[in-house]
Chain A
Amino acid sequence: MRLKENINMQDSKTQKDKLVPLVKIRNLKKAFGSNLVLKGFNLDLFPNENVVILGKSGSGKSVLIKCLVRLVEVDEGEILVLGKSIPDLEQEELDEIRTDVGFLFQGSALYDSMTVRENLQFPLRRHKERMKGQDEEKLIMEALRSVGLEHAIDLMPAELSGGMKRRIALARTLILQPQIILYDEPTSGLDPITSNEIIQLILKIQKDLKATSLIITHDMDCARVISNRMIILQDGINYAEGTYEVLSQSDDKKVKAFFKEVQKR
């Protein structure tokens, strides 16, 4: 059963109906062996939106965004990203779409054997045509400037703190100037001050790049500050949807229990 909590969002919904969603997911199903993780998830992600997907550990949040870039193959359902059906794309078309979808990994996933400069150069090497006319060094410096780490250009990932790694990973995500950015737990494993810095950085990037974001998190503070809309992923479906204010006031038992549990942490 899906809960309709988005009554207060009727106006914006009417406006959204006119827009074409950048990401459209319908009846997404994914199982690992006998464990059915996603049981029919639906989502529309509209331009310039920041949608946060909340859920308990193991609820399938990371699996969901990995399905969006086909890091995980879906079992059933439809995924349209920028109008293209992700499960049906040929490798070359998929690589092309992936340049329009930035992905910030939970553990930053910086390449250990490369310097910060080389980490940022890496996505550019396959997409020089896309960056035609733009100086590589200038792009790298701009990306580093946007995260405030120009001075770290020649450092190795092992020499960076957790927060710096996350910011460099964000710069690497931004270097191809994606239309959509997927964040997998952007503040996990960071102290509250650094978490706040990352949240502010995401908001700044959002404003500057006008990118659309899908954020996976179980950090309620992060979700509250960043999101225009929240989706609670429970029992493999988008169980409830709405703004923070709407969801936190919900009378639904499961939603109440979810908020109570999150606030306990």
Chain B
Amino acid sequence: METIAKSIKNYLEETGSISQFAFRFFQQAVRPPFEFKELLRQCYLIGYNSLFLVIATGFIMGLVLTLQVRPTMIEFGAVSYMPQMVGISIVREIGPVITALICAGKVGSSIGAELGSMKVTEQIDAMEVSGTNPFKYLVVTRIMASTLMLPLLVIAADAIGLFGSFLIESIKGDVSMTLYFNIVFETLTFGDLLPATIKSFFFGFAIGLVGCYKGYHSKKGTEGVGKAANSAVVLASLLLFVIDFLAVLVADIFYEI
């Protein structure tokens, strides 16, 4: 009983602490001076450096989804609906969630480990005593870059996923690229694109926030750095599913999915 009470207390404390950290982010993000150069560098590191992984995963995701679903669609005589089905699944759900999970692993762990190691080796303290605001320089730029880059990565993953799906369709069936993509774009509505794009921003924010929080509060020692990286991935992944569920609920109210 005591252990359960302690776990609940720890959980609530951690939630409060992350909320405070998020509040501090919003407070610092709107106050000058702005670290544009570092923001651009982080956009490059988070966005460009994750692009290959996201594209490769997106492509395979399109291939696999089409290969798995096609036999069932043939069975129901609905193979001509393949572009619609794949288009909606990738754009609405699979693209954003898979991309966010990959980024939670790659970006979240790297931010957690980097800031954790900076904390342990007193680099953050060194920034502070030199009169620079380390929160603004390290945390605000990383969370912003992650929030801005994730939707772009999702768009890239969606596009390449649809292309992968088309490849299988053109090999197994008889469809031209123009026809395939015409059907996809005719099917997709504003209600499919907008909620998916908005939730991608939230995914990016959650990944950056959790990575920075875990790294910035990592305990002393190399073990602390490992734990920070690991718990950043676990917590960010969990948060992504919670955000996804809430996003679908909200989208359902506005667009009747």
Residue positions of A touching B, CB distance < 8 A: 66, 69, 71, 91, 95-96, 98-99, 101, 103, 105-107, 109-113, 122-123, 125-127, 172, 176
Contact = CB atoms under 8 A, between A and B. Distances in A.
B253 interface: no
Contact of A101 (B121, B122, B127, B129): B129
B80 interface: no
A106 B123 CA distance: 11
The winner among B117, B126, B132 for most chain A CB atoms within 10 A is: B126
Nearest to A94: B131
Given A107-B121, A122-B130, A172-B126, 13 more contacts: A71-B125, A98-B128, A99-B131, A101-B129, A105-B122, A109-B122, A109-B126, A110-B123, A110-B126, A111-B126, A111-B127, A125-B132, A126-B130
A69 B126 contact: no
Interface in B133-176: 133
Interface of B: 33, 114, 117-118, 121-123, 125-133
A105 B118 CA distance: 13
Contacts of B126: 103, 105, 109-111, 172
B123 A109 contact: yes
Contact of B132 (A103, A106, A113, A123): A123
A105 B122 CA distance: 7
A91 B123 CA distance: 19
7 contacts: A66-B125, A107-B121, A107-B122, A109-B122, A122-B127, A126-B33, A126-B130
B131 A106 contact: no
The winner among B118, B123, B127 for most chain A CB atoms within 10 A is: B123
Contacts of A91: 133
A99 B126 CA distance: 12
A105 B125 contact: yes
B123 A98 contact: no
B127 A127 contact: no
Contacts of A126: 33, 130-132
A66 B129 CA distance: 10
A123 B132 CA distance: 7
Contact of A71 (B121, B123, B128): B128
A123 B123 contact: no
Contacts of B123: 109-112
Nearest to A91: B133
Nearest to A92: B131
Contacts of A103: 126, 129
B115 to A, nearest CB: 11
A71 B129 contact: yes
User: 6 nearest interchain CB pairs?
Assistant: A123-B130, A109-B126, A95-B131, A109-B122, A103-B129, A105-B122
A123 B114 CA distance: 20
B183 to A, nearest CB: 47
Nearest to A102: B129
Contacts of A99: 130-131
Contacts of B121: 107, 109, 112
A95 B130 CA distance: 8
A105 B133 CA distance: 18
B131 A96 contact: yes
A38 B127 CA distance: 25
A96 B131 CA distance: 7
Nearest to A184: B122
Contacts of A111: 118, 123, 126-127
A127 B122 contact: no
A98 B130 contact: yes
Nearest to B120: A107
Contact of A123 (B33, B122, B131, B133): B131
Contacts of B118: 111-112
A137 to B, nearest CB: 18
Nearest to A130: B131
A122 B132 contact: yes
Contacts of A110: 123, 126
A110 B33 CA distance: 23
Contacts of A109: 121-123, 125-126
B122 A98 contact: no
A95 B133 CA distance: 9
Nearest to B132: A126
Nearest to A124: B130
A176 B131 CA distance: 11
Nearest to B117: A112
A98 B125 contact: no
B85 to A, nearest CB: 45
A211 to B, nearest CB: 15
A115 B128 CA distance: 19
